[in-house]
Amino acid sequence: MTDLNINLDATVDFLVELLNTPSPTGYHVEVMPVVERAFAALDVPGLTISTTAKGALLLHLAGEGRAEPIGITAHVDTLGLMVKEIKSNGRLKCTSLGGIMWGGIEFEGVTVRTHSDRRIRGSVSPVNPSVHVNRKIQSTERSADTVEIRLDEITSSAEQTRQLGVEVGDFVFIDPRVELTGSGFIRSRFLDDKAGVAAIYGALAALRDAGLRPPSDVYVLISHYEEVGHGGAAGFPPDLAEVLSVDMGAIGEGQAGDEFSVSICVKDGGGPYHFDMNNKLRRLAETFDIPHRVDIYVYYASDGTAYWRAGGTGRVGLAGPGVDASHAYERTHRDAVRHSEHLLARYMLDES
């Protein structure tokens, strides 16, 4: 049994850089160069990187040719907002990108990116938020109709806001608020799924450090439209035997996962994952003493689901670090990232 060196500090450093780079669904131009540079700098023998017409990254790691090619995918796009309307008071009404929890972003700082790439600070606020003015504010449902962006600029009309360069269709970046605690927790928005991308990075680094090549060719798709359902629908070569989707494990009441383990999802809102893949992931975790939890997520789908629905014929499985408070201010632990990258490395080395 070959020992693998997991350089978790390097993985977390990369993760922090990803978290601090805005990438709401539909806006990939800043984060994809960060991802490409990081994977290229690993200098893994046999690894090549290309970009699809859609803007996703496809990594190809040449294997030893003893098994059929496999795929791994994770997504770098996150939740976010887009300007839907410039209101008469100069504030902004937004539409959500992905499954935003409106109450979960209340009073969060944001940056509005104008079409000319000017960055304007602001914050998310309920309409008429003062409890000294609006006695119903605490019971008002938070939604796109009751929440607005308050710009940190002198503006009180739609015309003044437009003079700042703001227009319908501009992206709004929500502050991630990344924090690493002394006890090993990683707190931030958008650990879904930047923690998964970082785990792939760490797994490839572990194979490089051990001087190991996988038995099969490995294709890694870093997608940027998962949050709206079609990230994994295209980009892979057609002849893959398997695809492992790397995404967060959802934690909550009634769930089996935790923030310290790799979660193996055997069924989600798209139905059960492939029986053989589920069993392979569990076998690898058990064989190599990787702390893991087997779970089911009923309100969830992944790039593996998109791959299947687009006609992908390979077997699909799902695994990733357990993440608390998904689609809000999320948290995981270094251990969950460590165990996820260990399982990924073992998966790439498996010959079954």
Grouped pLDDT means (10 residues each) for the chain, 352 residues: 86 98 98 98 98 97 95 98 98 97 96 98 97 94 97 98 98 98 98 98 97 97 98 97 98 97 98 98 98 97 98 98 97 98 98 88
Alpha helices in 68-226 (DSSP H): 158-163, 191-210
Model pTM?
0.97
**Residue 345 in 3-state DSSP?**
helix
Q: Where are the beta strands (DSSP E) in 135-241?
A: 147-151, 171-174, 179-180, 185-188, 218-223
Sorted by sequence, the CB contacts under 8 Å of residue 275 that are 6+ apart come out as none
Which residues partner with 316 through β-bridges? 243
The residue annotated as part of the active site, out of 226, 259, 330, 341, is 226
Q: Smallest Cα–Cα separation from 93: which of 142, 146, 148?
A: 148
**What pLDDT is stored for residue 164 in this prediction?**
98
Burial class for 303, CB neighbours closer than 10 Å (0-12, 13-18, 19+) = buried
The answer to whether 334 and 12 are in contact (CB under 8 A) is yes
Sign of CA dihedral 189, 190, 191, 194: negative
The answer to whether 260 and 336 are in contact (CB under 8 A) is yes
What token pair was written down for 113?
């990116």
**What pLDDT is stored for residue 1 in this prediction?**
54
**What pLDDT is stored for residue 3 in this prediction?**
80
Backbone angles phi, psi at 351, to 5 degrees: -105, 5
**How many other CB atoms are there within 10 angstroms of residue 43's CB atom?**
9
Residue 226 among the catalytic residues = yes
